[in-house]
Structure 1
Amino acid sequence: MPCRHIRATCVPGAPLQAALSALRTGLGVPGSFPPGVLEEAARPPRLPAHDATDIPFLTIDPPTSTDLDQAMHLSRRENGRGYRVRYAIADVAAFVAPGGALDTEAHRRVTTLYFPDEKVPLHPTRLSEGTASLLPDQTCPAVLWTLDLDADGRTESVDVRRALVRSRAKLDYAHVQKSIDDGTAEEPLALLKEIGTLRERLEAERGGISLNVPEQEIVETDGTYELVYRAPLPADAWNAQISLLTGMAAADLMLAHGTGVLRTLPAAPDGAVGRLRRTARALHIDWPHHVSYARLVRSLDPHLPRHAAFLQECTTLLRGAGYTVFRGGALPDVTSHAAVAAPYAHCTAPLRRLVDRYASELCLAAAADEPPPDWVLTALDTLPKEMAEGSRRAGTVERECVDIVEAALLKDRVGDIFDGCVVDVMERQPTVGTVQLESPAVVARIEGGTGTLPLGERLRVRLTQADLGTAKVRFAPA
C-alpha cells in the first residue's frame, strides 16, 4: 500500500541537502554494509531446476529504478475465456543463507528507507540492483506465480514455483501509457489495461480502495523551493492491480495451508475519518455525508493540486496496518486488510522489504503441499515485531522528511498570512492543534493564540517559524 512519495532536486551542499544528511545522522540510519555482508552478497545464487527463460517477461518501473522486484507476462488463455498472468518475483532467498551475515543485516534493516534525495537499501546494491534484480537480458532466479483469471478478471487457479526467468524489456510508466493509448502496444502489454481495468472493477465491487498517491517533488532554484506533484498515470494503477492480485492470492494460499503471515488493517476509527473530513474542508473538496470514503477517493483527480494534497493525507488511514502470523491451522480472528477489503499479504517486493522473502517461502510450501522450511518457522513469530519496528522507523523518516520539505518550502515566508483550516485540537491544550493550509498544502502545528481553536473551521494564520535546521514549521492565529 502507498506511502507519501517525496523527491527533492538538491544542489549539493545546499541547506535542504544538508538538512536531509543531518536527519540520517540523527536517526542513526544504517550506513555502509559490513565487509562480511558484502562478501556474501557477491556469492552466486542457488539456481532452480525449472527454466522459464522462454517467457518474454517485462518490467514496469520508474525510469531510474534498478532494484526491480517484479516482471510480468500477460496472455489470453487457450480456451479463449479469460487471462493468464505470469508474475515473476525476485528470489532473494536464493542469495541469502539463513542465519548468515546477509540475513542478519537484513533483519537489522528490515526495509529500504526512502529519503527525498537518496535511499538506504535493505540489501547491498550489488544484489538488490544487480544479480537479484530482474534487469533486462539477465537470467535470474525468481518465484514465479501463474494466475489464471476468468473473463471478468476473477482468480480461478494459482500456481507458484521457483524458476529461472529472463526479462526482455525494462519499461517505464510514461512509455507504457503512451504505447497503450496510441495502440502500438503488443498484446502482452496491451492486456495490462484490459486486466487492470477488470481488477479495478472487482475492487470497487468488494469495497476496496487503491490510493493513487501523487509523488511530491521539491525543486530548488537559486535558493528558493517550489512544490510540485507528479500525478500517477492509469498505467501505474493497472500495474499496481497485478501486484495486488498476487498479494491476495498469496494470502488465500497461506490461509488454506494453515501457516502464514498476512498484512492486516482494521477499519479506520471515526476520529481519523473525522480529521480527514476536516482536511477535505480545508482543501475545498466537497465530501457530502452520504458519500462513502471509497467513492470520494475514486472521484478525485490527482492532477489537481488540491486533490493531490488530499490523497497524500488519505495515507494516514493506513497507519494501523500490521502483520498477523498464524500457524498449524489456527487462523487469526482478523485476516482482512480494510483498504483491500480482502485477505492480503506482502510478497512482491523482497528486494525492499524483509517479510516478503518469508511470505514467498510460505507460499511455495503451500503450493507444493509441504511444510515450510525450519528457518522460516523459527523466524515467523518474531517477524511482526521486527516489521513493526522497521515500519515505525520508515514512518519517522517519512514524517521528518515531510517536515524538512515543508520548512524548505516556507523558509522565506515567515510573517506571511495564509488561509487554513483547523483539523485537530489537543484535548488538554485547546489553544494548540494542527492546521491544514489551502496553498501550499502544508500541514503544521498551530499555537500561541489565547482562545480555543475552532476545530473544523477556517482560520487565517501567520507563519511564525520555518526552520530547516530544526525541521519545524509553526503557525499562530493571525
Structure 2
Amino acid sequence: MVIRTGRADLSFDGIRTEFGLRPAFPAAVLAEAEAAVSRPVGDRPDLTSIPLVTIDPPGAKDLDQALCLERTSTGFVVHYAIADLGVFVTPGGALDSEVRQRGQTMYLPDGNVPLHPTVLSEGAASLLPGVVRPAVLWTFTCSAEGVPTSVEVRRALVRSQAQFDYASVQETFDTGNPHPSVAALAEFGPLRRALARSRGAIELQLPEQEIESNGSAWKLVTRPRALVDSWNAEISLMTGMAAASIMLEARVGILRTLPDPDVAAVAALRKSAAALRVPWPADVSPGAFLAGLDASQPEALALFTDATRLLRGAGYSAFNGEVPEVVTHAGVAAPYTHVTAPLRRLVDRFATEVCLAVTAGEELPSWLAEALPQLPSLMGASDSLAAKVERASLDQVEAWVLAGRVGQEFEAVVMRAGEQEAEIFVAAPPVLAKCAGKRLPEGERIRVRLAEADPVERRVRFERA
C-alpha cells in the first residue's frame, strides 16, 4: 500500500511519465463534472437521521463508504452508504468516456491520479462529514451469528456525522469508548471473520510497505494491520457478496472471480510447511491453516509468500443470461463483486447500477447492458497498470532510502528461495528485494549485504553476507 502523507523533495513524475498517467482532465470532462454538481439528484428518501460515520486513512478526501451498526435483540442491523456516482456521470458523455479509459485512481506518494475530477471525488460525490450527499444505501438485517437474513439496497440522501481514521478508531476501542455508530463492530467484525474462515477464505498476512514523507525526504515503514481495519473490511466484503448474490439470482451482472487453488499449488504449500516444520493437519483447509499462523514469525512470512500461488488467475466475469462457469472468488470463498469504491474504481458504479435495477424489478438500461461485456478488459488493464505503478513507487523509494548504504549488512528473512536468487524481506528499513544465492534457507533469518541501490533504474539487489 502507498500512503500519501505529504510532499518531499523527490517527486514521482518520472513514474507518471513512464506509465502515461494524466493527472489533468480534458476541458470538456471538467465542464461536464462541474455541471453535474448543480444538477438535481432527483427524489429519494431522506435518511440523514442515520448516524453514519466514515473510517479512512488519515487525510483522505475521496470517501466512498459510511457505516452505522446497531445491536438489536436478535442480532445486528448494518447501514452501509456508498457514494452514488450514477447521479453525476451521464452515460456516453465526456466524463463517462474519460473514466472508462482511466479505470481507477492511481495512488503515488506525492499525489494521486484520480479516476474522477476532484470536484466530484473529493467534493460533491464524496461522503464528507456534515453535508448531505446522494448515496446508495445498503441495509443488512443480520442474525446474532452475523449472517444476513435480509438485504435492501436503494438510493437515498445521507449525512455522515464524523470522519475517522483507523488508528483513532482503534484507540477508542482500546480505551473502551468507541463511537456509538461503530461500537458493535467489535462484536460483528470477529463474527464475520469467523464465518470467512469457516468458508475457507484465504488471507495472506504479508508485510505491507508504506511510503511516508518526513518533510524533506521519503521513508519506508510497516505497520501492523489494526483490528478495526480488518473488521471494517468485513463490511465491504459482506456487501460485495450480497451484490454478487443479487446478480447471480437475476443472471446478469459482473463478478470479481478467482479460481480455486489447483491441487499442485496446495501440494507445494504443504511441502513448504513440512520443510519449515510447521504442522498442517490433513483435514485443515489452506485458508484455516494460514489464518492460524503467527505473522511475526519468519516461517509464516515464507509460507504467506508461497501461498500467493493459491491466488492466481483473478479476473472479472460479465454475464447476461448465462452464468459463467467460475462464479466464486477463492480469496473470499464465495461469489463476490466490487460495489463499495465507485469514487476510486470504475466497475463499482456499473455493478451498483445492476443491483439497483434488479432489486427494483426493472430491466437494465441499454447503456448498462452494453457496457457490461467491456468492463473485464477495461478493469484488467487498469489493475495491471495500478500494480506496476505501486511496485515502481516502492522500488523508487527503496532505492532512494538505500542509495548511500551499499556494502552495509542487514538482517533479512528468506521468503521464497529459487535456484539462483531468493525473495527476502529486510525489516529495517522495510524492503522486499532479491538476494543472490543458490537455494537460500527458506523461512530463516540470514545476514545480507547490500550490493546495489540504483535510484535511476529503481533497482535494489542484495547478496548473502
Superposition TM-score tier, normalisation by shorter sequence:
0.7 to 0.9
SS of 1:113's equivalent in the other structure is: coil
SS of the residue aligned with 2:134?
Answer: strand
Q: Name 1:71's counterpart in structure 2.
A: 66
How many Å apart are 1:293 and its aligned residue? 4.0
The aligned residue for residue 124 of structure 2 is 131
After TM superposition, the structure 1 = structure 2 runs for residues 244-259 of structure 1, keeping only pairs within 5 Å, are 244-259=237-252
Cα deviation, 1:5-57, whole Å, max 9, x if unaligned, reads 133767643xxx24x22111111112211111111111224334222122221
The 10-residue stretch of structure 1 (334-343 or 271-280) with the greater mean CA deviation from structure 2:
271-280
Query: Given the superposition, is the C-alpha separation of residues 375 and 28 from structure 1 closer, same or farther in structure 2, using an over 3 Å criterion?
Result: same
User: What's 1:339 paired with?
Assistant: 331
Shift of 1:227: 3.3
Q: Per the alignment, do residues 421 and 74 of structure 1 end up closer, same or farther by CA in structure 2, a change over 3 Å counting? A: closer
Structure 2 CA distance, aligned partners of 1:26 and 1:270?
39
Judging changes above 3 Å, is the alpha-carbon distance between structure 1 residues 295 and 422 closer, same or farther for their aligned structure 2 residues?
closer
- Spell out, residue by residue over 1:324-372, the C-alpha distance to the aligned partner (whole angstroms, 9 max, x if none): 11112x1111111001110011000000000000000010111112211
Q: What secondary structure, in the 3-state scheme, does the structure 2 residue paired with 1:118 have?
A: coil
Q: CA offset at residue 73 of structure 1? A: 1.8
Between the aligned partners of 2:62 and 2:3, the Cα distance in structure 1 is 17
Give the Cα–Cα distance (whole angstroms) in 2 for the partners of residues 392 and 227 of structure 1.
Answer: 23
The one-letter amino acid paired with 2:42 is L
Instruction: State the alpha-carbon separation in 2 of the partners of residues 296 and 169 from structure 1.
Output: 38
For 1:185 and 1:221, the matched residues in 2 are separated by 30
5 Å matches for 1:388-427?
388-417=380-409, 421=414, 423-425=416-418
Equivalent residue for 2:225, pick from 226, 229, 232: 232
Kindly tell me: are residues 11 and 137 of structure 1, through their superposed partners in 2, closer, same or farther at Cα, counting changes over 3 Å?
Answer: closer
**Which residue is equivalent to 1:288?**
279
Map of 1:274-353 to 2, 5 A cutoff?
Answer: 287-290=278-281, 293-300=286-293, 318-328=311-321, 330-353=322-345
**What is the match of residue 6 of structure 1?**
2
Check conservation: 1:231, 1:302, Cα contact below 8 A: no
Deviations 1:300-324 (A, max 9, x none): 5667899789868866754531111
Show the counterpart of 2:354: 362
Task: Tell me the secondary structure at the aligned position of residue 381 of structure 1.
Answer: helix
Counterpart of 1:147 (choices 140, 162, 171) is 140
Instruction: Describe the shift of the 1:423–1:209 C-alpha distance in structure 2 as closer, same or farther (beyond 3 A).
Output: closer
Shift in alpha-carbon separation, 1:139–1:471, aligned structure 2, 3 A: same
Q: What is the identity, as a one-letter code, of the residue corresponding to 2:20?
A: G
Please state how far the C-alpha of 1:211 moved relative to its aligned partner.
4.7
Partner of 1:464: 451
How far apart are 1:463 and its partner, in Å? 3.0
Tell me the equivalent position of 2:178.
185
Consecutive unaligned residues in structure 2, runs of 5 or more: none
- Rounded to whole Å, the distance in 2 between the matches of 1:417 and 1:332 is 52
1:379 positional shift: 0.7
- Answer whether contact 1:278 1:421 (CA < 8 A) is retained: no
After superposition, residues 199-210 of structure 1 pair within 5 angstroms as 199-210=192-203
Aligned partner of 1:216 in structure 2 is 209
1:7, 1:216 within 8 Å by CA — same for their partners in 2? no
Matched, 1:58 2:53: yes
Give the 3 Å change call, closer, same or farther, for CA 321–422 of structure 1 in structure 2: closer
Equivalent pairs, count: 456
> What is residue 371 of structure 1 aligned with on the other side?
363
Alignment match of 1:23 (pick from 15, 38, 46): 15
Offset, 1:413: 2.5
Instruction: Check 1:7–1:310 CA distance in 2 against 1; reply closer, same or farther (3 A cut).
Output: farther
Distance 1:139 1:221, change over 3 A: closer
Q: Distance in 2 between matches of 1:316 and 1:115?
A: 27
Provide structure 1 residue ranges, at least 5 long, that are not aligned to the other structure: none
Which of 383, 404, 410 aligns to 2:375? It is 383
Residues 437 and 250 of structure 1, relative CA distance in 2, 3 Å threshold: closer
The answer to whether the Cα contact below 8 Å between 2:301 and 2:415 also exists between their aligned partners in 1 is no
Name the CA distance, whole Å, in 2 between partners of 1:221 and 1:277. Answer: 42
Q: Quote how far apart the aligned CAs of 1:475 are.
A: 3.5
Match of 1:435 among 423, 442, 445: 423
State yes or no: 1:121 paired with 2:114: yes
Name the stretch that deviates more: 382-391 or 183-192. Answer: 183-192
* 1:404-458 Cα deviation digits (max 9, x unpaired): 2222232222234555648353xxxx54x443145445443455x7xxx226557
Instruction: Give the match's secondary structure for 2:61.
Output: coil
Report if the CA contact (8 A) 2:316-2:376 is conserved.
yes
CA distances 1:235-292 after superposition (whole Å, capped 9, x unpaired): 111111111110100000110111010111113457766887899999xx86434475
Alignment check: 8 A CA contact 1:229 1:305 kept: no
Q: Is residue 169 from structure 1 mapped to residue 156 from structure 2 by the alignment?
A: no
Supply the AA of the counterpart residue of 2:48: T
1:119-160 deviation line (CA, Å, top 9, x unaligned): 111001110010000111111111111111111111111111
Aligned Cα root-mean-square deviation (Å) = 3.2
Residue 83 of structure 2 is aligned to residue 96 of structure 1: no
Note if contact 1:280-1:310 (Cα within 8 Å) is conserved in structure 2. Answer: yes
Distance of aligned partners of 1:224 and 1:372 in 2 relative to their CA distance in 1, 3 Å threshold: closer
Q: Percent same amino acid at aligned positions?
A: 47
With over 3 angstroms needed to count, the CA separation of the structure-2 counterparts of 1:51 and 1:213, relative to structure 1, is: farther
- Does the 8 Å CA contact 1:214/1:312 hold for their aligned counterparts? no
In the aligned structure 2, how far is the partner of 1:37 from the partner of 1:410? 42
TM-score by length of 2: 0.87
